[in-house]
Amino acid sequence: MSYEFLNRPRRLRDHPVLNSMTTETHLSKSDLVLPVFVTESDENPVPIPSMPEIFRWPVNLLTEKIVEWKSLGIRAFALFPHIDESKKDAKGSEILNPKSLVYQAVRQVKDALDDIALIADLALDPYTLHGQDGILSEDARVDNDPTVEVLAEAAVLAAQAGYDLVAPSDMMDGRVQKIRERLEAEGFIHTGIISYSAKFSSSYYGPFRDAVGSKTDSPVDKSGYQLCPANFREACRELALDASEGADILMVKPAEPYLDVISHARDTFDLPIAAYQVSGEYSRLWAAHMQGWLDLDKCALESLVSIKRAGADLIFTYFAERISKLI
Ligand code: PBG
């Protein structure tokens, strides 16, 4: 039996060549940014139990490792420090030490390698004993303006050390403008800003906090500065503010739970849009895979293609190494 249907969209899907020729979204290695954890210890890479296949890299092994990642086709790396507790204080002062881990790391890598982009994450949480992204006021709130001052100063140190982009991940008000002004004033006109513009107060950051060692005995509540997961319009406002303050790239984070926000950002701004597939998005797929419940590679690929289809130009992902071997 057959009907005379006018539309049979399956025609294109049912033919392998036509199916592949009509594929709309292609993930490529040049879309990917690999977040890299760096440690001061000079021995072996330290595995992070909640993030299989992800390590903290000692600075002295970092260059060699980046050469290897580059040979897989990965060209952009965002560095995150794990520093010793003894260097942490209430104000995160270590971020202003020009000899600090993240500045040393970029010097070494850039001396040995070009043709890659290095991104400095700007936030105080790896440096503060309380694990918040800013300096606390007397009433224990995260104090916006003094924090912005420190971040602008740290942006200059990052630029001096050789980072191509700085990435404020703190969600303080006005920080993109202050960072841009400070970089311009110091002559760092080529250093770009990739701003965590719509960063949600998400429970998916847990494994990352293990990785950078910013976990404290009581859970850290960042809802006083990161966005409420229920708020779309407020996210749009944050994106617009960062665009007007001079960000070069706008970021949405986490990625897959917030595809609506990525899609809005793509439709509204002419700037490149980045999305950060965060630690919890990575670990949940791994956990299901370890139970034998999901196919890790296929799910990772589907998740990244979905993020790209929603409108992301760049994707920060811990799957970058694994996926580069597949695509
Ligand atoms: C903190 C920062 C976080 C991440 C990147 N920068 C965590 C947080 O806000 O607590 C999360 C990344 C991830 O989960 O992979 N400045």
Residue 227 and residue 29: Cα distance in Å, rounded? Answer: 30
Residue 247 and residue 313: Cα distance in Å, rounded? Answer: 15
Asked whether residue 62 is domain-assigned, the answer is yes
In this structure, what are the phi and psi dihedrals at residue 77, rounded to the nearest 5 degrees?
Answer: -135, 135
φ/ψ region of 131 (left if φ > 0, alpha if ψ in -120 to 50, else beta) reads: left
Render pLDDT for 80-95 as a digit per residue (tens, 0 to 9): 999 999 999 999 999 9
Domain with 169 in it: what CATH number? 3.20.20.70
Ligand 1 pocket residue status of 278, Cβ below 6 Å: yes
Q: Residue 57, Cα to own-chain centre: how many angstroms?
A: 17
Angle value at C-alpha 288, between 284 and 294, nearest 5 degrees: 120
The pLDDT score that the predictor gives to residue 315 is 98
Ligand 1 pocket residue status of 317, Cβ below 6 Å: no
Q: Give the closest residue (by CA) to ligand 1 atom 12.
A: 278
Going from the Cα of 280 to the center of ligand 1, the distance in angstroms, rounded, reads 10
The pLDDT score that the predictor gives to residue 217 is 73
Asked whether residue 131 is domain-assigned, the answer is yes
Residue 147 tokens, joined = 């924090």
Which 3 state secondary structure label does DSSP give 71?
helix
Q: Is the pTM of this model over 0.95?
A: yes
Q: How many domains, the chain?
A: 1
Q: What is the mean pLDDT of residues 323-327?
A: 96
pLDDT surpassing 80 at residue 202: yes
pLDDT surpassing 90 at residue 206: yes
pLDDT band of residue 67 (cuts 50, 70, 90) is very high
Asked whether residue 7 is domain-assigned, the answer is no
308 closest CA partner among 321, 296, 319? 319
Asked whether residue 20 is domain-assigned, the answer is no
Ligand 1 pocket residue status of 123, Cβ below 6 Å: yes
Asked whether residue 318 is domain-assigned, the answer is yes
Asked whether residue 232 is domain-assigned, the answer is yes
Asked whether residue 290 is domain-assigned, the answer is yes
Ligand 1 pocket residue status of 37, Cβ below 6 Å: no
Mutation to probe ligand 1, out of 142, 169, 227, 283 (largest number of atoms < 8 A from CB) = 169
Asked whether residue 4 is domain-assigned, the answer is no
The pLDDT score that the predictor gives to residue 214 is 77
Domain span including residue 287? 26-215+223-324
pLDDT band of residue 42 (cuts 50, 70, 90) is confident
Atom of ligand 1 minimally distant from the CA of 169? 16
